[in-house]
Structure 1
Amino acid sequence: MSDSSRTAAGSLLRRCWPIVAAVPLGAVCGGAYALVAPVQYQANAYVMVVPEAGADSATAVNFAQAYGRVIAQPEILLNAAAGTGVPIARLTPLVQAVTSPDAPMIQITGTAGTAATAAQEANAVARSLVSFGDAGSAQTRVKLMTFASAAQPDAPSSPSRSLDLAVGAAAGLLVGGLGVMASQARAGGGAPAAVPPPRSDDRGSEGGIGEDVQVEPVPAAEAAVTAEETAGTARRARHGAAQGRR
């Protein structure tokens, strides 16, 4: 490597050292979080809304979305909490429902620290939702049925080591970039250069402002002659005016 290349590389390293240091540090922090974060498993159960006589598929889709929104109500989770042994207050944030705008299907997701518990929670909530919906089928004219039971997941859903590493490296890149910008701002943020005062011998534009005018002194003899001529002219003017009055 030539001397100029080494000089350029050293200058670049001095300017970008916050990024060089922050990106690996962020990746290490992300990996450390992936190692210490609690493992979470997710299992999915599916409930279908079926229209009865006098109802159509659009009605079933609408009720599927409605049941998905009220999945965390105590009336639905009461039987699920009794079946799993998990209190309702603890079970509520562990269960989620997702619906489709085109199909009368409800996806129920259970989250837990073990695969078996996650599947048990999802299936218990699905059974409770079916019982809750069938209790009012005479008014809604739709029935609910378990379409697919939740199975135990093979791998945890979180944490994801690759994702946590990428997020940590991205955060380090952001922080390092901000550090580079701050250092450049400090380096170029000195006081502005003082404007020198105008010189007394500066010349303006052609015949314009700023041009010094030098006045030459008048000799004393010439000044005396000029004064005498002026006085004589004044006397002759007075004499002519007096004759004109006569």
Structure 2
Amino acid sequence: MIQNHARPPRASRLSPLRALPPWSLVAAGVLAGGLLGGGYGTLRAPQYTATSYVVAVPGERSDTATALGFAQAYGRVATQDAVLADAQAPAGVPMATLRESVRTATSPDAPMVAVSATAPRPAQAADMANAVAGALTRHANAAEAATRVQLLQFTRAVRPTEPASPSAGVTGLVGASAGGLLGALALLVRPKRRPEEEAVRATVPGPAVAADAHGRL
């Protein structure tokens, strides 16, 4: 006599995101972000930054306020092509490299301009900063008769002893934080189980229960 056994309803297959426990998304994001960030910090060549300072000094029939105003203007002029073209020979690099690597900063309280250069070698960074500061000084002093302000080199850039770029540990922590944040966002948008899926999972017997029932038949 052939017995017909009723087949249990087939459970709907859950998507991988629904099947994973909630904390796994955050943990995976932290792990992946930490590995990527640490790897980037390890493989990326260190960058060094050197800074040279020039100061604007008022001349005859001038004052400190005038010197301060010209210092602000010289801070913007320092990265212009006219100055960089004169600096490329003593710096030993093309003008395009100076344009990408040199930055300036000024103070609202002091007539001083900081010329910073970043390079993969400490000596190159110092050479670029000093070359641009020297070229800026020459350009500014060529118009001293009209501006009544003289630009002097306050301090020369020296070779940095430590890289300015973040270490592998720092980039790893940043990557882990970003990965954890993305994992938390994925957890928030993760699709929830539908009521019918929960009902199917509740009605489907576990492997041990199914085997025991089949043995009694």
Equivalent position SS for 2:141: helix
Deviation at 1:190, TM superposition (A): 5.9
Greater CA drift, 18-27 or 129-138: 18-27
Q: State the TM-score, normalizing by the size of structure 2.
A: 0.77
Equivalent position to 2:192, from 187, 190, 194:
187
Aligned partner (choices 70, 74, 98) of residue 105 of structure 2: 98
Higher relative CO (Cα under 8 Å, sequence separation at least 6) belongs to 2
Could you list the runs of 4 or more consecutive aligned residues of structure 1 that deviate by over 6 angstroms after TM superposition?
none
CA-CA distance at 1:17 after TM superposition: 1.1
1:89 maps to amino acid: A
Decide whether the 8 Å contact of 1:37 with 1:159 is kept in 2. Answer: no
Q: Which amino acid aligns with 2:24?
A: W
Task: Give the CA RMSD over aligned residues.
Answer: 1.6
> Is the contact between residue 27 and residue 167 of structure 1 (CA under 8 Å) also seen in structure 2?
yes
Q: How far apart in 1 are the matches of 2:185 and 2:195?
A: 20
Q: Which runs of 5+ in 1 are unaligned?
A: 1-12, 192-246
Q: Which residue, out of 145, 162, 181, partners 1:138?
A: 145
Amino acid at match of 2:158: A
Superposition deviation, residue 182 in structure 1: 2.2
Alignment of 1:1-246 (within 5 A): 14-183=21-190, 186-187=191-192
The CA deviation string for residues 172-229 of structure 1, in whole angstroms up to 9 with x for no partner, is 111110221122xx215669xxxxxxxxxxxxxxxxxxxxxxxxxxxxxxxxxxxxxx
Query: Residue type of the partner of 1:176?
Result: G
Q: Which amino acid aligns with 1:42?
A: T
Aligned residues with identical type, % of pairs = 42
- Which runs of 5 or more structure 2 residues have no equivalent in the other structure? 1-19, 197-217
| CA distance, structure 1, for counterparts of residue 77 and residue 194 of structure 2 | 58
Deviates more, 1:95-104 or 1:170-179: 170-179
Residues 42 and 167, structure 2, Cα contact 8 Å, conserved in 1: no
